[in-house]
Amino acid sequence: MGLCTSIEAIPVQPPRPVVPQRPQRPERPQRETKHHQSHVTQQHDPSIDWSRFRALVPLRQEFFIRPQDIEFVRRLPSAMNITCLVHVHGEAVVLKAVPQDGRDTRAAMQSLVAEIKNMSRIHHPNIVDFRGFTFMKSLGLCAAFESMQTKSLWDVLSHPKLTARLSWPKQKIQYAIDVCRALDYMHSLRPKLIHRNVKASKVRLNHGFRVAKLSGFDLARDQTFEKTMTKAGLGDIQWSAPELLIDGDYSELVDIYAFGVLLVELDTCEVPLKAAIRRMSDVELHTALKTGRLRPAPSSSCPPEVAKVIKHCLQFDPRNRPSSSRLLRMLLAVQTNLNR
């Protein structure tokens, strides 16, 4: 099935209730016996030096995948990481590893370990599912995720023929709700999990392009109150809340700001602040964003209800932004209004 046909065939989603129940953390499905047995066996494999990855030792019982259970299919294109499509007991899985010859290999490896730890404790229908981790001789440490084998939301938005078939009442508002459900779930955890890199390129669409799933958790971190949250390695500046660009602590509300920018992406189908990036230097852009003088804006054709939500999300003062649960209620109300 061609991608254009899939988008065009998406039916109108019926409006959902305006006031949802607070999402409960779904139970992670039990793995099949053959997976569990392979994990138990591999714990004692002498070829693996677990002392290098002590943080992953508590996870090996449930999440370790034996290398001999992995069948390589092909390499996948990736700008930053090494990604491969493989089969694990017949299931298509994507492996993610970090290059071993770069200057930032150590930092990238620490980030991958953190991603594995974070993903091991979450499970939600609007988050790309974590399948486990493994060690490959040629790749080193690898994280394993469900294989979506579809385009990212940005791939769709940047395709002129596809964007012509997208509308707010049909696909766009549903994609926004799906991503917001994922954030609401993450922010309801204790400790809260902050994504820190919400954008259209980090959203995957399933087969049929009806469901959006949040991915890209390499920058995600637990929110802790014992120490200031680090800003190292954060996402692109256009999606960064002002508090990320200045000295000081931040909270899960940086995800709300980034979500507002994602809504702008959905509306304009363009890179946020594309014109400003062309005319301003990096220093000028950084200063304008951190002082609140510049922020992404929706198009003139954006539905007023959506534009209002964007305005709430992009408030300079994080205390004036809605929580993810309130934001979800707002989006459900917008969906109802758009489909009247």
- Is the domain of 198 the same as that of 329? yes
Task: Evaluate whether residue 3 is within a structural domain.
Answer: no
Task: Evaluate whether residue 97 is within a structural domain.
Answer: yes
Q: For the chain, what is the domain count?
A: 2
C-alpha 118/C-alpha 235 separation (Å) is: 18
- Is the domain of 278 the same as that of 295? yes
Task: Evaluate whether residue 9 is within a structural domain.
Answer: no
Which residues, including other chains, have CB under 8 Å from residue 42's CB and lie 6 or more apart?
48, 60, 64, 65, 66
Task: Evaluate whether residue 19 is within a structural domain.
Answer: no
Task: Evaluate whether residue 298 is within a structural domain.
Answer: yes
- Is the domain of 298 the same as that of 167? yes
- Is the domain of 306 the same as that of 175? yes
Helices (H) and strands (E) in the chain, counts: 13, 9
Last residue of a domain, one of 96, 121, 146: 146
Kindly indicate the confidence band of residue 225, based on its pLDDT and cuts at 50, 70 and 90.
very low
For residue 58, is the peptide bond before it cis, meaning its omega torsion is within 30 degrees of 0?
no
What percentage of the chain exceeds 70 in pLDDT? 81
- Is the domain of 275 the same as that of 206? yes
Q: Which domain holds residue 50?
A: 33-146
Task: Evaluate whether residue 28 is within a structural domain.
Answer: no
User: What confidence tens digit (pLDDT) does each residue in 20-60 have?
Assistant: 554 454 555 554 434 443 443 344 455 678 888 999 999 99
Last residue of a domain, one of 84, 117, 146: 146
**pTM flag (> 0.95):** no
Q: Which of 259, 254, 256, 239 is nearest to 175 (CA)?
A: 259
Return the bridge partners of 228, or none. Answer: none
C-alpha 100/C-alpha 117 separation (Å) is: 20
Tell me, what DSSP letter sits at residue 337?
A: H
CA distances for 136 relative to 53, 120, 143, 301, 308, angstroms: 14, 19, 11, 50, 49
